[in-house]
Amino acid sequence: MDRPVRVRYAPSPTGPQHLGGVRTALYNFLFAKKQKGTFIIRIEDTDQTRFVEGAENYMLESLKWCGITHDEGPGVGGNYGPYKQSERKHLYRQYADQLIESGHAYYAFDTPEELDAMRERMKASGIPNPQYGAATRDYMKNSLVLPHDEVKTRLANGEQFVIRMKMPRKEEIKLQDLIRGWVVFQSSQLDDKVLFKSDGMPTYHLANVVDDYLMEITHVIRGEEWLPSAPLHVMLYKCLGWEDVMPHFAHLPLILRPDGNGKLSKRDGDRLGFPVFPLNWTDPETKENSIGFRERGFFPEAFANMIALLGWHPGSVQQELFSMEEMIQLFTIEHIGKSGAKFDFEKAKWFNHEYMKKADSKILATDFKKVLSEKGITDSDEHITAICESLKQRCTFISEFWDNSFYFFTEPTVYDEQIVKKKWNEKTKEIMKELSASLLGQTDFSFSALDTFLHSFVKEKNLNTGDVLPVLRIMLSGTKNGPAVYELASLLGKEKSIERMAKAEAEFDKMISV
**Which of positions 242-261 make contact with RNA (CB under 7 A)?**
253-254, 256, 258, 261
Q: What is the 3-state secondary structure (H, E, C) of 234-295?
A: HHHHHHCCCHHHCCEEEEECCEECCCCCCECCHHHHHHHCCCCECCCEECCCCCCEECEHHH
**Which one, 31 or 380, has the nearer CB to RNA?**
31
Contact residue for RNA among 53, 87, 120, 199 (CB under 7 A): 199
What is the C-alpha separation between 392 and 241, in angstroms, rounded? 59
Q: Which of 1, 184, 506, 514 binds RNA (CB under 7 A)?
A: 184
Q: Pick from 275, 297, 470, 478: which binds RNA (CB under 7 A)?
A: 470
Q: Which one, 99 or 309, has the nearer CB to RNA?
A: 309
Q: What is the secondary structure of 20-75 as a DSSP string?
A: HHHHHHHHHHHHHHHTT-EEEE-B----GGG--TTHHHHHHHHHHHHT---SBBTT
Q: Footprint of RNA on residues 326-345 (CB under 7 A)?
A: 335, 337-342, 344
Please say which residue, 10 or 432, places its beta carbon nearer to RNA.
Answer: 10
CA distances from 66 to 220, 282, 397, 498 (A): 21, 20, 17, 47
In the complex, the smallest distance separating the C-beta of residue 341 from RNA, rounded to whole angstroms, is: 3
Question: By CB under 7 A, is residue 89 in contact with RNA?
Answer: no
Within residues 101-120, the interface with RNA by CB under 7 A covers: 110-112, 115
Catalytic pick from 34, 84, 238, 266?
266
Taking alpha carbons only, the member of 246, 253, 206 closest to residue 227 is 253
Nearer to RNA, 5 or 256 (CB): 256
CB of 4 to RNA, least distance (A): 25
Question: Which residue, 244 or 426, is less far from RNA as judged by CB?
Answer: 426
Q: Could you tell me how many residues of this chain bind RNA (CB under 7 A)?
A: 85
Q: Say how many C-beta atoms besides its own lie within 10 A of residue 194's C-beta.
A: 18
Choose one: 31-39, 142-150, 221-229, 493-501; the region binding RNA (CB under 7 A). Answer: 221-229
CA distance 34 to 36: 5
Is residue 349 part of the annotated active site? The answer reads no
For RNA, the binding residue among 33, 483, 497, 504 (CB under 7 A) is 483
Within 341-400, the residues that bind RNA by CB under 7 A are 341-342, 344, 346-347, 349-350, 353, 357, 393-394
Site for RNA in 399-458 (CB under 7 A): none
Q: What number of CA atoms fall less than 13 Å from residue 384's CA on the CB side?
A: 20
**Distance between CA 79 and CA 505 in Å, rounded?**
75
Q: Which residues contact 431 (CB under 8 A, 6 or more apart)?
A: 461, 463, 467, 468, 471
132 sits near RNA (criterion: CB under 7 A): yes
Nearer of residues 320 and 499 to RNA, judged by Cβ: 320
Distance of alpha carbon 154 from the chain centroid: 49
Part in contact with RNA (CB under 7 A); list of ranges 29-37, 378-386, 479-487, 491-499: 479-487
Q: Identify the CA nearest to 64 among candidates 35, 33, 41.
A: 41
| DSSP reduced 3-state for 196 | strand
Q: Which of 4, 75, 77, 228 binds RNA (CB under 7 A)?
A: 228
The catalytic residues are 266
